[in-house]
Amino acid sequence: MIVVAIEGYDGSGKTTLVRELVSALDRRGIRCIVVGRSAEDSNSHVAAMTAVIKSSDGGSDTLPPLADMFLRLARLHARIGVINGLDCDVVLLDRFLLYDISRVPVELCVQHAALLEQVANTLHMDLTIHLTTTFDLLWKRVTGRPVYDLSPKERRGRAYNLEGYQRFEQVLARQRLYDNLHTIDCAQPVDVVSDMALALILSAGLGDRRS
């Protein structure tokens, strides 16, 4: 089993890419399971923590930064528990540790660097795919959605999300937690992005691990 994280800021097309990859892998007879942050693709414990995190991140019920960080780490542990119980060829993660780190103040990341590294080492990550493009394009995609589809964070507006985007890109630029990180320009057509991501997954030792 190989584990692949799809990372990207809001509007980068993570959900669309995951859907395309599941179909492409299924056509090749490769068993793929998606582990996200909702009850449908994880479990009720992960979903409950996600609800609190979303309400805090840009919402009115803001958690203290340290509490937010430990709740995110608890959710990561819960998702790892789900992954460890799976029997498939490929696990696709809709965001994972790197995005969560970007939502934590830098001083807390420095203070708890050993803990973050310990969490990262709990799960062997075979491949991390980073979807990126300009913030203006991502924000155009986000604001093109119906208002009821926007998260509390997205409803905070452009300036708030630009700051979040910049923090996320900085985390990806300096990350040392995962070696096998590849960046794809998500401004390209969906089929091109999907083909590139699929090629990365197929070259990540899948054949050897299935034999």
Q: What is the pLDDT of residue 121?
A: 82
CA dist 187 and 26 (Å) reads: 25
Q: What is the dihedral of CA 98, 99, 104, 106, to 10 degrees?
A: 50
Q: What is the pLDDT of residue 172?
A: 83
CB 98 within 8 A of CB 7: yes
Q: What is the pLDDT of residue 177?
A: 60
CA dist 209 and 30 (Å) reads: 12
Helix (H, G, I), strand (E, B) or coil at 86: coil
DSSP string covering 137-192 = HHHHHHHTS-GGGS-HHHHT-HHHHHHHHHHHHHHHHH--S-S-EEEEETTS-HHH
Q: Which structure tokens are listed for 14?
A: 């993570």
Q: What is the pLDDT of residue 176?
A: 64
| pTM for this entry | 0.88
Domains of the chain (ranges, CATH numbers): 2-210 (3.40.50.300)
Number of other CB atoms surrounding residue 95 within 10 Å: 16
Q: What is the mean pLDDT of each run of 10 residues along the chain (211 residues)?
A: 93 93 94 92 92 82 89 92 92 90 88 85 88 95 90 89 92 73 94 95 67 39
